[in-house]
Amino acid sequence: MARHSPHNMPTPSAPQIEKAPRSTAWPLLRSLRPEQWTKNLILFGGLLFGMRLFDVEAVLRATAAFFIFCGLSGVVYLVNDIMDREADKRHPLKRHRPIASGALSPSTAKLAAVGIGAIGLGGSWLLGQRFFFVALAYLSLQTFYSGPLKQMVIIDVLTIAFGFVLRAVGGAVVINVPISHWLMLVTVLLALFLALSKRRHELTLLADGATSHRRILEEYSPYLLDQMISVVTASTLMAYALYTVAPETVARFGTDKLALTIPFPLYGIFRYLYLVHQKKGGGSPSTMLLTDKPLLLCVGLWVCAVVLIIYRPLLP
């Protein structure tokens, strides 16, 4: 009888462990940029300055509008990341974004953008036709920005600024309050200030590689941006100061004390400039607002001061 050596015995093959497919939920959530939600807080401006802060129905409608714009702005970020994925791969920070790093496929991002956009616009229609058209205009403008408008000097930052204006308009129309031209002016100037500061951060961060990442950056220089920021800074502070003492403002709120809030935007803008120039910040205004305690405290105190001054005549 033949003997079989243990070495000749067939060995059972090792069980194959199938790798579970990677979940796309977390990369998709990161691509929607939920940390940028602070940009949509401007929708509550109509609630605050429209004297509807204690109106429950108005608060609920403004809150719904806030979440709708969070979804729509997430769609814009998805579209932007899809179109910029090749350039983002060469960026020291943006290369870690899910689409640029390969953690989220462009096809999945496109499906998510269509789905979330449809839900957001559907929800805006339920809040009223006027709000729907504002939401549609915002989504269209910012999507168009991700394409040709991003490559047009000065128009690129103006488009970002008008996106904030549409947010403010949406916050007013959803609760049916008048839109103050003064506040629209302050909004567009402040948004320009933030957009120009962000451009400056990109230009200084990428240095010689700036134009290879984004072509439009070759049209700017730190000196040019500093000049534009100086003009916008002075204009923003002047517009807000004039708004607080304007006869129509005093008549609307029944007080001339709103001028007492001027030191808060003054400090806030100066603090932001300090972070941009001395701390090399400015890449993400939302992150700076949430992480810089003095800036966050300044905004909080400004809101409290405005509420106390505007609503004091209404309190018993």
Position 214 confidence tier, pLDDT thresholds 50, 70, 90: low
Instruction: Quick: pLDDT tens for 58-83.
Output: 999 999 999 999 999 999 999 988 88
What is the C-alpha to C-alpha distance for residues 263 and 188, in angstroms, rounded to an integer?
20
In the predicted model, is pLDDT for residue 283 greater than 70? no
pLDDT, residue 2, reads 45
Q: Is the dihedral of CA 295, 299, 304, 306 positive or negative?
A: positive
Query: Which stretches of 101-158 are assigned E, i.e. beta strand?
Result: none
CA-based torsion, 43, 169, 134, 231: positive or negative: negative
Tokens 């994925």, residue? Answer: 85
Question: Domain map of the chain by residue range?
Answer: 32-179, 180-316
Q: Give the model's confidence band at 7: pLDDT under 50 very low, under 70 low, under 90 confident, else very high.
A: very low
pTM to 2 decimal places? 0.83
User: How far apart are alpha carbons 151 and 158 in whole angstroms?
Assistant: 12
Residues 6+ apart with CB under 8 A from 89: 95, 100
Report the pLDDT averaged over residues 287-299.
89
Please tell me the predicted confidence (pLDDT) of residue 209: 55
Q: Percent of the chain beyond pLDDT 70?
A: 88
One-letter amino acid at 158 equals: L
**Residue 5 pLDDT > 50, yes or no?**
no
Mean pLDDT of 22-40: 85
Q: Where residue 89 falls among pLDDT bands split at 50, 70, 90?
A: confident
211 DSSP 8-state letter: H
Q: How far apart are CA 218 and CA 230, in angstroms?
A: 20
Task: Decide which of 36 and 88 is more confident.
Answer: 36
pLDDT score, position 21: 46
Task: Give the residue-averaged pLDDT of 165-175.
Answer: 94
Per-chain mean pLDDT for the chain: 85
Within a 10 A sphere around the Cβ of 26, how many other Cβ atoms? 12
Question: What number is the average pLDDT over the span 278-283?
Answer: 72
213: confidence class by pLDDT, cuts 50, 70, 90: low
What's residue 22's pLDDT? Answer: 60
Share of the chain above pLDDT 90, in %: 51
DSSP 283: S
Report whether pLDDT(316) > 70.
no
pLDDT digits (tens, 9 = 90+) for 112-144: 999 999 999 999 999 999 999 999 999 999 998
Cβ neighbors of 105 (< 8 A, separation 6 or more) are 24, 99
pLDDT score, position 189? 94
Cα dihedral angle (158, 163, 169, 175), rounded to 10 degrees? -170
pLDDT score of 15 more than 50:
no
Q: What is the pLDDT of residue 282?
A: 63
State the DSSP code for 255: -
pLDDT, mean of residues 137-166: 90
Q: Check residue 16 and give its pLDDT.
A: 44
C-alpha torsion angle, residues 19, 25, 30, 32 (rounded to 10): 150
- Rounded Cα distance, 187 and 231, in Å: 15
Instruction: For residue 152, count other CB atoms closer than 10 A to its CB.
Output: 14
pLDDT at 259 over 90: yes
Indicate the Cα dihedral angle 192, 194, 196, 198, nearest 10°.
Answer: -150
CATH class of 32-179: mainly alpha
Report d(CA 266, CA 264) in Å as an integer: 5
For residue 94, the model assigns a pLDDT of: 78
- Exposed/middle/buried for residue 19 (C-beta within 10 Å: 0-12, 13-18, 19+): exposed
